[in-house]
A and B are shown apart, each in its own frame.
Chain A
Amino acid sequence: MLEYILAKYNFWIYVVLMMIGLYAMMGKRNLVKKLIGMNIFQTSIILFFVSIGVKKGGATVPIIMGHGHGHGQHLIKVADYLNPLPHVLMLTAIVVSIATTGVALATLILIYKRYHTLEEDEILAIRKDPSSYKTLG
Chain B
Amino acid sequence: MIDQFPALIIVAPLLGAFLTPIIGWRYRQLCRPWALMILAIPLYAAGGALLQVIRSGPFGYNLGGWAPPWGIEYRIDHLSGLMLVLIAAIGLLAAINAKPGVSMDLKGKEPHFYTLLLLQITGLMGIVITGDLFNIFVFLEISSLSGYGLIAHGEDGAPMATFNYIIIGTIGASFYLLGVGYLYMATGSLNIADLAAILPNLYHSKMILVGFAFFTTGVAIKMGLFPLHVWMPDAYTTAPGPVSTLIAPLMTKVAAYIMIRIMFTLFQPDFSISVVPVATILGWMAVVAIIVGGIKALAQTDIKRMVTYIMIAEVGYIVMGVSVMNRPGLTGAILHIVNDACMIFGLFLIIGAISYKGHGREIYHFQNLNKKMPFTMAAFVIVALSMCGIPPACGFFSKWYLIMGTIVAKQWVFSITLLCSSLVNAVLFFRIIEKAYLAPLGGGAHGHDDDHEEEVIVRDEAPASMLIPILITAAIIIILGPLSGKIIAAVIQHAVPAAF
Residues on A lying within 8 angstroms of B by beta carbon are: 22, 25, 31, 34-35, 38, 41-42, 45, 48-49, 52, 85-86, 89, 92-93, 96, 99-100, 103-104, 106-108, 110-111, 114, 123, 127
Contacts and interface: CB of A to CB of B under 8 A. Distances in A.
A108 B170 contact: no
A41 to B, nearest CB: 6
B162 interface: yes
Nearest 4 CB-CB pairings of A with B: A110-B159, A111-B159, A96-B141, A104-B166
A93 B160 CA distance: 25
B151 to A, nearest CB: 9
B181 A45 contact: yes
Nearest to B138: A92
A25 B230 CA distance: 14
B407 interface: no
10 contacts: A25-B167, A34-B163, A42-B174, A96-B145, A96-B173, A100-B141, A107-B159, A114-B156, A127-B156, A127-B157
Contact of A52 (B157, B159, B170, B185): B185
Interface in B148-167: 148-149, 152, 156-157, 159-160, 162-163, 166-167
B397 interface: no
A114 B185 contact: no
A108 B159 CA distance: 8
Contacts of B137: 93, 96
Interface in B124-141: 134, 137-138, 141
A107 B153 CA distance: 9
A48 B178 contact: yes
Given A45-B181, A110-B159, 10 more contacts: A34-B167, A35-B167, A45-B177, A92-B138, A96-B138, A107-B148, A107-B159, A111-B160, A114-B156, A114-B159
A92 B138 CA distance: 8
Contacts of A34: 163, 167
Contacts of A42: 170, 174
Contacts of B171: 22, 25, 38, 41
B145 A100 contact: yes
Given A103-B149, A107-B148, A110-B152, A38 B167 contact: yes
Residue of A38, A41, A93 ringed by the most chain B CB atoms within 10 A: A93
Contacts of A41: 170-171, 174
B34 interface: no
Contacts of B163: 31, 34, 104, 107-108, 111
- Which of B138, B148, B159 has the largest count of A CB atoms less than 10 A from its CB? B159
A45 B156 CA distance: 34
B44 interface: no
A3 B137 CA distance: 35
Interface residues of B, number: 25
A10 B308 CA distance: 42
Nearest to B146: A103
A107 B134 contact: no
B437 interface: no
Contacts of A114: 156, 159
B209 to A, nearest CB: 15
A48 B162 CA distance: 28
Given A41-B174, A93-B177, A111-B160, A106 B152 contact: yes
A35 B178 CA distance: 20
Contacts of A86: 181, 184
A111 B171 CA distance: 21
A38 B167 CA distance: 7
Residue among B134, B148, B166, B170 with the most chain A CB within 10 A?
B170
A100 B170 contact: yes
Contacts of B174: 41-42, 45
Contacts of A108: 163
Contacts of A110: 152, 159
Contact of B166 (A85, A92, A103, A127): A103
Contacts of B141: 96, 99-100
B166 A89 contact: no
Nearest to A89: B134
A38 B152 CA distance: 19
Nearest to B173: A96
Contacts of B134: 89, 92
A107 B178 contact: no
B184 to A, nearest CB: 7
A127 B170 contact: no
B166 A100 contact: yes
A127 B148 CA distance: 21
B251 to A, nearest CB: 16
B161 to A, nearest CB: 10
Contacts of B181: 45, 48-49, 52, 86
Nearest to A86: B184
Interface string B172-192: 011001100100110000000
Contact of A99 (B145, B152, B157, B159): B145
A29 to B, nearest CB: 13
Nearest to B140: A96
A106 B178 CA distance: 27
Nearest to A106: B152
Contacts of B149: 103
Given A45-B178, A92-B138, A114-B159, A103 B167 contact: no
B178 A103 contact: no
Contact of A103 (B145, B156, B184, B185): B145
Interface in B21-76: none
A22 B137 CA distance: 20
Q: Could you say which of B162, B174, B181 has the most chain A C-beta atoms within 10 Å of its C-beta?
A: B174
